[in-house]
Structure formats: structure tokens, C-alpha cells
Amino acid sequence: MKMKTVKVGRNDLCPCGSGLKFKKCCLSKSETEAEDFEATYVRKYNIRLKKAADIEGIRKAGRLVLDTLDLVESEIKPGITTDELNTLAHEFTVKNGATPAPLNYRGFPKSICVSINEVICHGIPGNRVIKDDDIVNVDITSILDGYYADANKTFFAGAPPGPDARKIVDIARECLRRGMSAVKPGNTIGDIGWAIQTYAEARGCSVVREFVGHGVGFGFHEAPQVPHFGHKGTGIGLIPGMVFTIEPMINLGKKDLRILDDNWTAVTKDGLLSAQFEQTVLVTENGVESLTPYE
């Protein structure tokens, strides 16, 4: 697929990420140079744009991720252990000809992450029993035919959620939606973070800084990094063919965290609830498409 020219106004930031206005940067170069964003992004940022066949491969992996999330959601109830959820997801992934990306990734011992209540992310499935009123985040990344897709959701277990649980889950879900709404050619990585941070903080919540979204598709974690906080108009310019995750981790209390002795599990330092939602998104000619779409 030949990348089309990005539609950018003369006074907009140049999509090449120079920080200059388009009229003072690539607009002043030859037409060939101005259109060669693909080579520029590889050279400057190590970002590999995805072509039509790549996008379809990631989309196919994304459908499997969503099917796996749906299966796990159907079994989340008081009394089940996080390891039982891991086994369910692992067997379903392998049955469908895919590989769980987290398994043995940098020593991670399980096939999915399950993060409950105060656990921000990277919860290792084990003998923890899910209880009434828990909020349970399940994070799944599958490799199918060489392509990666990544998504997560936070679910309620058992009894109707209390006000704090409802609040943090609703805010985290809306943070993802607002971050995705900031994705379009001519915008920047900073616009995504700004949209998320301003919404969360206006509602008395905080945004985790230590973990960010990331490029995905050819590998588990690619360039660019996608912080969920930031300033409008800063960072790398968004252009068609970029594929990355947006996965804001939102805390009910302060943003501070600590890592448990397993060297993976991140928990809120104040012990208050944390929630997260994630999708794999594609920058299109006109805006954004989720490759792991859910409501």
C-alpha cells in the first residue's frame, strides 16, 4: 500500500515530528521528500508503518484477542482463581493457532495479566481467589500468523459494584475513549496524553506515569511510546499507518505505585483502586480505527 500524502495545513505542526510548522519544514522540500514520511519515521523514530496486509493481520489477531476476552469475562465470578482464568485463556489461544505473547516474555510466567483492585497492571495469575465487589482487569496479547494485537478490559465481579469501583471503572473507560478521539493525522502523541490527563484529573483521579502505551503489530512492544499524560501539540506527529496501543491506567487516589517482590506486579502505593482499558489503534487517513474494537 502506497502511503498517501498527509493532509496538513500550512500552519499545523509538521507530521515528521520536527516541532516546526509544516510551511517551515517539509512543505518547503521537494514533493518526493515531503511524501516520504515512511522512511523518515523509520530513520528518526524506529517506527515501522503498517501496510494493508499488515493491518489485516493485526486486525485478525485482534479478533482473537476480543474472543478470548469475551470467554474470560463469562467465567469471572466469585470463587474462581486468577490461574483458572489464565488456563482458560491459554488453552483457547493455542486452540485457535495463536501464541500468548506474555508467556515467558522477559521472564513473565503466565499467558495473561490479571490485575485486581489495587493492582495497576502486570498481575501474575496464581491462587488469588476473585471475590464479590472485586474489579478485575484482564490484559491479553496474542500472536497470530506473526502479528500481535493487544487489548484489556476491567470487569466487575459478583455483586453490583460500589460507588468507588463504578467511578474508577467509568473514568478509565472514558479516558480510553477520549485518548482514541485525539488520534488523527496532524495531531501528536502529546494530544492523546493531554486528552486523558485533563479528563482524569478534573474528576479527582490520577494517571500512572511509569507505564505507557506502545507501538504493536510486528512485535509486542515497538516504538513509539504513548504516555497517558502530556501537553497538546508535543511529541511525534501522527500519520497514517501507525499502529499503537492506548491503555490508560487510572488511580482513584494518587498516581504513586510500588512493585511487589515478584518484580512484575504494580500496585497503588495508597492501596486505592486502579482501573484500565486498552485497545490497539490504527491511524487512518481520516482519523482512527480500532483493531480491537469493543464498547
Domain of 139, CATH number, reads: 3.90.230.10
Q: Which domain covers residue 212, as residue numbers?
A: 22-290
Structural domain count, the chain:
1
Tell me, yes or no, whether 125 lies in a domain: yes
* Structural contact between residues 179 and 196, judged by C-beta atoms closer than 8 angstroms: yes
Write the pLDDT tens digit of every residue in 72-103: 999 999 999 999 999 999 999 999 999 999 99
Asked, for residue 184, whether it belongs to a domain, the answer is yes
Share of the chain above pLDDT 70, in %: 91
CA gap 170, 58 in Å, rounded: 27
Predicted local distance difference test score (pLDDT) of residue 21:
73
pLDDT digits (tens, 9 = 90+) for 247-261: 999 999 999 999 999
The three-state secondary structure class of 177 is helix
Q: Is residue 96 part of a domain?
A: yes
In a domain, 11, yes or no: no
The pLDDT value given to residue 36: 78
User: What averages of pLDDT result for each successive group of 10 residues across the chain (295 residues)?
Assistant: 47 71 62 67 96 98 98 98 98 98 98 98 98 97 98 96 97 98 97 98 98 98 98 97 98 98 98 98 97 95
In a domain, 17, yes or no: no
- Tell me if 223 sits within 8 A of 46, measured CB to CB: yes
Tens digit of pLDDT for each residue in 276-285?
999 999 999 9
CB 125 within 8 A of CB 110: yes
- Whether residue 15 is contained in a domain is answered as no
Q: Around 21, how many Cα atoms within 13 Å sit in the side-chain half-sphere?
A: 6
Q: How far apart are CA 109 and CA 115, in angstroms?
A: 15
Q: Is residue 9 part of a domain?
A: no
Alpha-helical segments (H) within the chain: 31-35, 37-45, 52-75, 82-95, 163-181, 189-202
